[in-house]
Amino acid sequence: MSAKRDGISDSAQCSTNSDLSQILPEHYVNSSAFTITRKGTQLRLRWKRVSAIRRYVLRLRLSDGRVLLLLPTPRQTAITVKGVGRKTTGTATLQAQDALGIGGTAARARLKR
């Protein structure tokens, strides 16, 4: 026997909360489509576009101690970072987020010498 609160039964409220994760789509960037190329002291980060997102979050951790947080627009598919030394290495992660700020699986790419 379930008690009713505000016209909705307890079992209906529980099923709504558990179904929320199934309703929200997970937006993710394909790891194989996320690349870093170097041209002199410039880095070019490219990826394939993800549909129905609000923003990207790009974190670039470099061996010289810098951690860059970049927020490309949803329509952007590439970004250039200038002033990176030729011997600098690092890793980059790119995550797509929807309007609620829920992020999908992050793609990772390594920057080698």
pTM score: 0.75
Domains of the chain and any CATH numbers: 26-111 (2.60.40.10)
Of residues 81, 77, 82, 94, the one with CA closest to residue 28: 94
Instruction: Quickly count: other Cβ atoms within 10 Å of residue 14's Cβ.
Output: 11
46 SS3 class? strand
Tens of each residue's pLDDT in the chain, 113 residues: 445 545 554 444 444 444 545 555 677 788 889 999 999 999 999 999 988 899 999 999 999 999 999 999 999 999 999 999 999 999 999 999 988 888 889 999 999 98
| Share in percent of the chain as helix, strand, coil (round to 5) | 15, 40, 45
